[in-house]
Chain A
Amino acid sequence: MGNATSISHSITDTPGGADWETQRRRVTVTLLVVPIAMMALLFLVPLGYLVWLSLGGPSGPNVNSYRQLAAPVYLNLAYYTLQLAFIVTVACAVIAYPLAYLLANIESAVSRLMIVGLVISLWLSVLARTYSWIIILQRNGVVNDLLQQAGITSKPLPLVYNETGVYIGMIHILLPYMGMTLYPTLRAIDGSLVRSALSLGASPWTTFRRVYFPLSLSGLVSGSILVFTMAIGFFVTPAILGGGRVNTIVMAIQNQVQVLVDLPLAAATSVVLLLVSLLILVVYERIAGVERIFGKGRQ
């Protein structure tokens, strides 16, 4: 298509014509050079180096580090991390579903305030909110004060620096992501379908089960994938609220680097986690399209 002089003639070309197309393609390539170079240099190279290091680095290709990973301690860690992420995801889905239903279907002050709250949440510091939970949940914190004043317990409950604290903190931080993915899906459900089912004699429960819920499934799936991925890689919240009693695979990686100083092992663990997250990314793209993350982009 086109020829070398197309640029100088382009002004008189019809938009959409062959020369215009060629020129537009050339501009597209020029635009992409900088961001692609940046991603290659600052994303693919570090990760590629990690893969090389995990395979033995300078001492030739071998899978020694991966063999180390097959030890029971790492298998248990992997199992524990997946279990933690799974429970957090299910909890977020169960908590967020009625909430998203409320936001999508009932006009009230609480809905408006909640939408603002959810959007602001995505903007707030994870470190700060994790720290808040220490203040709220600690031995002489607000929750324990209230529980004792209400006579529910006589001495403070251990709510933080353990698994309970990790679950509370992770659900708090990941819930808005689930909510903001579910809400647009539920809002897009055509109310006339629900009305038809009801007028044809289906009970509200049957209508929900056979009509409403299947229509909301796509949002539930993409929200769950998003939350699950974030939960697997979560470091700040479990590290702080777990108080050393909760160990996940990312915390093991930090330990391998900073305490064990076994970089090939840390690299191998990272590569496994990298492959898992890339797999999830591809699945997510297949199911929902990555641009739907945060509920933005095409619906």
Chain B
Amino acid sequence: MSEYLLGANGRRLLIAYGWLLILFIIVPALVLVPVSIGKDDSFVIIPHELSLRWYQTLFTDTRWRNALILSLKLAVFASVLATVAGVLAAIGVSRAAPQLAKALRLLFIAPMIVPLMVIGVGFYVLYARLRLLGGFVPLGAAHAVLVLPFVMLPVSARLYSMDQRLEWAAASLGAGPYQTIIRVVLPQLKPAILAGFAFAFIFSFDEVVVAQFLSGPQMETLPRRMWEGIQMGGLDKTITAVTTVQLILAVVAMLFITTWQWRPKARPAPARDKADRP
């Protein structure tokens, strides 16, 4: 589609506007990378002397390293749990009766819409009562619920665009219902599941609001450690090393997933309505 409403000048202006916004959207995400490899304490964008000492601190200083390891474990725990539950939820909802499906979809999406602070306080009062504050599994379980929508959404979208006749074919060839799900449905969902898993992982790895309430004094996650550093004026340059690691992690995950999603040839999918049935 080409453009009709603007003249040549208008188009040129709009493209210039686009470049300006790229500065606004992308530069803040990248600016800490050069800062993190500067040797001295100052936050200059073009460092005088290069050094990896801030990365060394991140991986060797006990407090930073423990926080890093704890956050990695937490993100794995939460995103694995959320992926299992989210995939089951997406498949279940896609097969449920329309009214029920609608209600359930709202339920499963809700953790994304309700403010983190509200969910955090809810868990805090409950866990305080049950003496679960400061536990790894309770915090991981809370994170799993927070990130469940990130798995559920892409998997649901993929399910809608799938050809249901493949399931019928599997059933008529003698596959049991679970065999059909495992051998016919799940393989087609793989890219969506992977995308959801990665997004869930990244979100949990960055989450500070709920973690702050539930981790108690002894469990310090990476975002919590960063938060504290930033509140103290943000002068510890190790934080810039952390943000660079996060950036690399996110970009690698995203590149991995986009190449994955492009691999299967997308065919126009027939509508999934009842009239379609034999």
Contact = CB atoms under 8 A, between A and B. Distances in A.
Per DSSP, chain B at the interface is: helix
Interface in A14-35: 14-16, 20, 23-25, 27-29, 31-32, 34-35
Given A172-B24, A281-B110, A240 B125 contact: no
Contacts of A136: 27-28, 31
Interface in B1-16: 1-6, 11, 14-15
Nearest to A107: B2
B208 A127 contact: yes
Nearest to B129: A49
Contact of A208 (B5, B105, B254): B5
A155 interface: no
A24 B187 CA distance: 19
Interface string A172-190: 1001100000000001000
Interface in A127-166: 127-136, 141-142
Contact of A114 (B18, B86, B199): B18
Nearest to B206: A125
Contacts of A208: 5
A175 B20 CA distance: 14
Nearest to B153: A296
Interface string B78-95: 000100111011011101
Contact of B230 (A108, A119, A240, A293): A240
Contacts of B209: 235-236
Interface in A249-276: 250, 253-254, 257, 263, 266-267, 270, 273-274
B52 interface: no
Contacts of A16: 168, 277-278
A11 interface: yes
Nearest to A106: B3
B206 A277 contact: no
B88 A132 contact: no
A214 interface: no
A81 to B, nearest CB: 11
Interface string B130-151: 0000000000011011001000
Given A131-B243, A133-B28, A294-B153, A123 B254 contact: yes
Contacts, number: 295
A53 B102 CA distance: 29
Contacts of B126: 45-46, 49-50
Contacts of A175: 24-25
A4 interface: no
B5 A194 contact: yes
Contacts of A11: 174, 176
A50 B116 CA distance: 14
Contact of A35 (B17, B25, B31, B88): B88
Interface residues of B, number: 103
Contacts of B223: 127
Contacts of B208: 127, 236
A277 B108 contact: no
A46 B123 contact: yes
Interface stretch (A62-70, A72-80, A93-101): A93-101
B113 A229 contact: yes
Nearest to B11: A106
A99 B104 contact: no
Nearest to A46: B122
For B19, B105, B171, B234, which residue has the most chain A Cβ atoms within 10 angstroms?
A: B171
B22 interface: yes
Nearest to A132: B28
B202 A15 contact: no
Given A191-B1, A298-B160, A106 B153 contact: no
A32 B187 CA distance: 20
B145 A38 contact: yes
A125 to B, nearest CB: 4
A110 B5 contact: no
Given A15-B168, A105-B1, A136-B28, A110 B246 contact: no
Given A49-B125, A191-B1, A297 B160 contact: yes
B120 to A, nearest CB: 9
A191 B4 CA distance: 9
A117 B227 CA distance: 25
15 contacts: A38-B81, A43-B107, A53-B125, A95-B21, A105-B2, A111-B18, A114-B25, A204-B6, A232-B115, A233-B115, A235-B117, A270-B122, A278-B114, A290-B106, A293-B109
